[in-house]
Amino acid sequence: MRSDVTKQGIERAPHRSLFRALGCGDKEIRQPSIGIVNSYNEIIPGHMHLKNLAEAAKQGVYAAGGTPFEVNTIGICDGIAMNHPGMRFSLPSRELIADSVEVVVQAHAFDALVFITNCDKIIPGMLMAAVRLNIPSIFVSGGPMLATRMGKDKYVDLFSVFEAVGQVTTGQMTEAELDELERVACPGCGSCAGMFTANTMNCLTEALGMGLPGNGTIPAVDSRRIVLAREVGRQVMELLKEDIRPLDIITKDSMHNAFTADTAMGGSSNSVLHLLAIASEAKIDFPLEEINKISQNTPHISKLSPSGTYHIEDLDFAGGIPALMKELSNLLKLDAKTVSGESLGEIIADAKIKDTDIIRSKENAYSERGGLTILFGNLAPDGAVVKSAAVAPEMMVHQGPARIFNSEAEATQGIMSGSIKGGEVVVLRYEGPKGGPGMPEMLTPTSLITGMGLGEKVALITDGRFSGATRGASIGHVSPEAAEGGPIAALEEGDIIKIDILNCKIDVELSQDEIEQRLSKLPKFEPKIKTGYLSRYIEKVTSASTGAVFKQ
């Protein structure tokens, strides 16, 4: 066993003494050491209940002949970190999480791993660590938060509160109504109820084959999630016995399956950033153009908040990810392995759609094309990402004059002042991986635009990124970013920007000579932060087009 280096031989007597201090007897020392990598903390609603799942997973491990040891890693709540300097640390935390897991696992020589996760950067950070370590591993998420009913047919979630701020600004809602909404929108534990980044990544963990069926959709408060966690504990021992490792599961085929599911359900645009980072860790070449090919061939068959009125609990009721993928089976690599021990094809063979309003048939799809689109053009030579599933039909092709803002704070102030007019294109730059730094999410500006009634009249483009709760013609990840001298840095007030999501294009009406001339006159970019972790992050991070991973 891998853990023998900590337990076997007379020279390991001191080590065994320390195991005995932990309450281990001879049996526990002889058994495989299983790391229970938990991201429990008391600042993220999606993680506040993960101790219960860890206990269930440990029960499963012990019952199957392993000795579980719980260890922890950090996590950030993107909602609480939103729209202030804390958001600069969100994406960078992904690399810290991957590194911290690698450090604790290598130092203690675990034989296999159970990952307990739930929210935004924590999920991909742990997936990156699993691939890097490549020892038998399995994931279980904390599950989605329930939506809240407000009225006969009205359900709300965290995104409803962000949009309501814009509605109060324009007089469409009173502060008293906002206060009422604020108090009920997030009713308890779990990752925020819509198809935002956390739930997208939990569903895609299942589609990748690294989580058991139900991982992405069983609600956090449902007792089935405890049962799932216990089964995960038992199943990791099977993975160890059969020596099935993450790189046996995360392959080019499973990445194809994940992106297919992603576009079919209109997942968060952040999924592109994170799946590319996981692919990079696994040494899988997956160019952005490949995502467009998948999206163009994949029907959009499930529309959840913020794109629609349904939530993750509804997707679970309708049959979950297995039912969604069963409907897409002719587009999938069905031989892909999963942590269940079965192939993807075997898992989805008996799945059924229980509600065809929530998961539509291919023949009745919302659109023939998937819900994510990569745009290219002279404004984004290396690509940009839009959640096309959440774009109004009249904004799929749009052109208008640029309104330039060099920070999120500037843009938020400009939008709230009422100076943005219909037909314009808000340009929010110097918020990329280096420029932000940390590529902060722009949920506040996009929510204000939507809440103020401009969502079908105004586009927003940025070298930053968006929350999975963003909707509208919001185009992010513009690469190269402004801080790296990308064309977005050359834009001036009034430049005409042309957006054609249908044909995957984004351009500015400028010649290449004019763009280069303007860029040559710009002062050298000066990092906003020059000390601490973010200063090191600026030096190491690569473009959003490559997943914003660290330079090797």
Q: How far apart are CA 216 and CA 321, in angstroms?
A: 7
| 305: annotated active-site residue | no
CB–CB of 122/39 below 8 Å?
yes
Helix 252-264 and helix 320-327: axis angle, to 10°?
100
Compute the distance between CA of residue 400 and CA of residue 387 in angstroms, rounded to an integer.
Answer: 20
The amino acid at 425 = V
Q: What residues contact residue 293 under an 8 Å CB cut-off, 6+ apart?
A: none
Q: Which residues of 50-86 are buried (b: 16+ CB within 10 A; e: fewer)?
A: bebbbbbbbbbbbebebbbbbbbbebbbbbebbbeee
Give bridge partners of residue 460 from the DSSP assignment: 426, 474
Phi-psi region of 143 (alpha: psi -120 to 50; beta: other; left: phi over 0): left
Q: In Å, what is the CA distance from 254 to each residue of 205, 360, 370?
A: 10, 23, 18
Q: Left, alpha or beta for 437 (phi > 0: left; psi -120 to 50: alpha)?
A: beta
> Which backbone phi and psi does 406 adopt, to 5 degrees?
-100, 10
- SS3 sequence, 270-323? HHHHHHHHHHHHCCCCCCHHHHHHHHHHCCECCCECCCCCECHHHHHHCCHHHH
Q: DSSP code of 357?
A: T
Contact 36, 114 (CB under 8 A): yes
Closest by alpha carbon to 121, among 535, 522, 438, 506? 438
Give CA angle at 72 (67, 78), nearest 5°: 145
Q: Are 253 and 335 in contact (CB under 8 A)?
A: yes
Radius of gyration of the chain (CA): 23
Q: What are phi and psi of 67, to 5 degrees?
A: -110, 110
* Tokens (6 digits) for 195: 């198809």
- Residue 69 is encoded by which pair of tokens? 């040891």
From the number of C-beta atoms within 10 Å of its C-beta (0-12, 13-18, 19+), residue 47 rates as buried
Please tell me which residue in 467, 474, 543, 545 is annotated as part of the active site: 467
b/e 460-498 (16+ beta carbons within 10 angstroms → b): bbbbbbbbbbbbbbbbbbbbbbbbbbbbbbbbeeebebb
Q: How far apart are CA 552 and CA 550, in angstroms?
A: 6
Active-site residues, by number, are: 467
